[in-house]
Structure 1
Amino acid sequence: MKVLVTGATGFIGRLVVQHLREAGAELRLASRHPETFGLADGAVLMPNFDAPAAAFLALTRDVTHVVHCAGLNNDQGDVREDDYRAANVELSARLAHAAAAQASGRFIHLSSIRAVIGARVSATIDENTPPAPQCVYGRSKREGEIKVLDAYASHGRSDAAVLRLPPAYGSGMKGNLATLMRLADTALPLPTGALTGIRSLMSREATARAVSHLLSHSGPLRPIYVGADVPPVTVEAIIAAFRKGFGRPRRLMTVPAGLIRPAASGLGKRAFWDSLTATQICDPALLVSQGWAPETATLERLAELARLSKS
């Protein structure tokens, strides 16, 4: 088995590479920064979305499976819509068409729950949740999903699948979780008692195990899967776990949301506040029913992450 992993130097891609290598898979690694790997790793430069078709055919030649981790995330700062479309839509489509034409095995496309739901909407998310992305990033991820599945369907194949992820955590994480961890690393009391939102998270390790499971399980692939740690956790518990890992006192104050919301608006952080008070629960029952084991010690893992970040 030879697996092409794109985005192999990224936050998720690095763990996917490690997991597949430990499982004995032969790998071809594609990245914007192939120099990160040693010469023995055989890493290659990831083609641009507008590269000739021959570049994508060369990338997918002689591989069994493709794990597509490459993409432009929503934690990159000021990014244009055209940039999201190039990275998350056009590049994914070009790669999927080349893989469908000549890769003999499965294509696993890593996506996000932002493809189906906005950051400030409360909902339970599974494979049947109607897509309603509410940001440029989410729309690009949803269109990328469609392009990948359509590319395989156009070649008469059904062995491509989309894995939608909630916010992922691990060393080097960015976005709201990284912001919460920085906020937790202070001795000052925090007015977090109003953060009653419940959130699904997913560790990088659990994500890598989900990818390996989808590549190897014997049954046919479904087009969409949703991953998550279980059970979901409250935002307040997330901050408390970080504080525990930092060795700081809990010091979380119960302050009515009606007092915090205007303050957040005045500081230009209303969207951030609303995203922390929304409840978004991902249901990974389909993956679990096929034999995948989710992470079940989320808060302990978050505390350990904070502890390691200090050392």
Structure 2
Amino acid sequence: MGHKILLTGATGFVGSNLFGGLTSLPQVHLVAAVRVLKRNLCSTFFEVGPIDKTTNYSPLINGVDVVIHTAARAHVMKEEADDPLSKYRLVNVDGTLNLARQAAVAGVKRFIFISSIGVNGNVSTRPFTASDQPNPVEPYALSKWEAEQGLWKIQQATEMEVVIIRPPLIYGSGAPGNFGRLVRWIEKGTPLPLGAIHNKRSLISIDNLVNLIIRCIDHPAAANQVFLAGDGEDLSTTELLHGVGKAMGKPARLIPVPTGLLHLGATLLGKRAMAQRLLGSLQVDISKTCELLDWTPPYTVEEGLRRCFEPSH
């Protein structure tokens, strides 16, 4: 695998783990783009400033044949009331398409974009597939969908290949967002009214996602495809909490409360979106991903959860 790769978002959760995976590969020359260059970063890292439609990648992109774009605005729990979508668009749409245009002009062969399963929707009655009609609901997911549409236009107008990966909840050591919140609850021994949830949710360990992204770098069948990512095992919220507790060596203190009461309580408290993530189902079908790429997730959910809390991770 002889490649010069530009990785954006290299100090974020996905990007930093991917950086570690890529540096272990032979014949890979890695260039890592970050918003702000910190003192403890090695010479592979370069500062590009804020990610938007004006970001200049010209000093970095010469000779690059693969771009992996993980930089994004995400996990913003409290948005200002005035059009939060516009703030996501600045980074996730304008910033992505600006980079893609520069990449195409520079002769980059392949552009790998880390999107979100939220493009498909935030609740499923059957497992989502890559060919389903998109139904983004929240501003973050909508911005990712708009970026995807823009990437396909650039792909059609140039010879640059596009690969889009839509992961569900990503878990791992230091994961932000919902998984990090679950870990903190169990760590504190907080009693949770989540002992009788019978939903089904797909998720992916950061190690499995890194493995999948690396597979997409030069696999011929990845060109101009959308792939859904997952561990290949679906869990209820109750099962996930028990699994996290087991991996941590701490009991998950779960109280069996009927789902209907939880939905009602969340609605009264104005927490319907959070309740949907905990109580609703969201499943993905990764059969296309596995078949086209001859890929199998290397770690089971149990192994992935255990790796979250191992000292080496």
TM-score (norm 1): 0.89
2:197 matched residue in structure 1: 195
Q: Distance in 2 between matches of 1:268 and 1:76?
A: 14
1:18 matched residue in structure 2: 20
- Determine which of 98, 101, 121 is the counterpart of 2:105: 101
- Determine which of 17, 28, 32 is the counterpart of 1:29: 32
Q: Write out per-residue CA displacement over residues 112-163 of structure 1, whole angstroms, 9 at most, x where no aligned residue.
A: 0112202x454411211110111111110100111112112111x2511111
Q: Distance in 2 between matches of 1:253 and 1:266?
A: 20
1:205 matched residue in structure 2: 207
Q: Distance in 2 between matches of 1:306 and 1:19?
A: 18
Q: Distance in 2 between matches of 1:78 and 1:220?
A: 35
Q: Write out per-residue CA displacement over residues 10-64 of structure 1, whole angstroms, 9 at most, x where no aligned residue.
A: 1100111111111121011101122255343242325642327xx2344322111
Shift of 1:304: 4.5
2:7 matched residue in structure 1: 5
Following superposition of structure 1 onto structure 2, how do residues 1-311 of structure 1 map, counting pairs within 5 Å?
1-24=3-26, 25-35=28-38, 38-46=41-49, 48-51=51-54, 55-75=56-76, 77-78=78-79, 80-118=84-122, 120-155=123-158, 157=159, 159-187=161-189, 189-219=191-221, 221-289=223-291, 290-306=293-309
Contact kept, 8 Å, 1:4 with 1:63, in 2: the verdict is: yes
Contact kept, 8 Å, 1:186 with 1:248, in 2: the verdict is: no
Q: Distance in 2 between matches of 1:101 and 1:286?
A: 31
Shift of 1:296: 4.1
TM-score (norm 2): 0.89
RMSD: 2.4
Identity %: 27
Q: Which runs of 5+ in 2 are unaligned?
A: none
Q: Distance in 2 between matches of 1:244 and 1:220?
A: 36
Q: Which runs of 5+ in 1 are unaligned?
A: none
Evaluate the alpha carbon distance shift between residue 275 and residue 121 of structure 1 in structure 2; reply closer, same or farther with a 3 A threshold.
farther
Q: Distance in 2 between matches of 1:76 and 1:43?
A: 29
Q: Distance in 2 between matches of 1:15 and 1:4?
A: 15
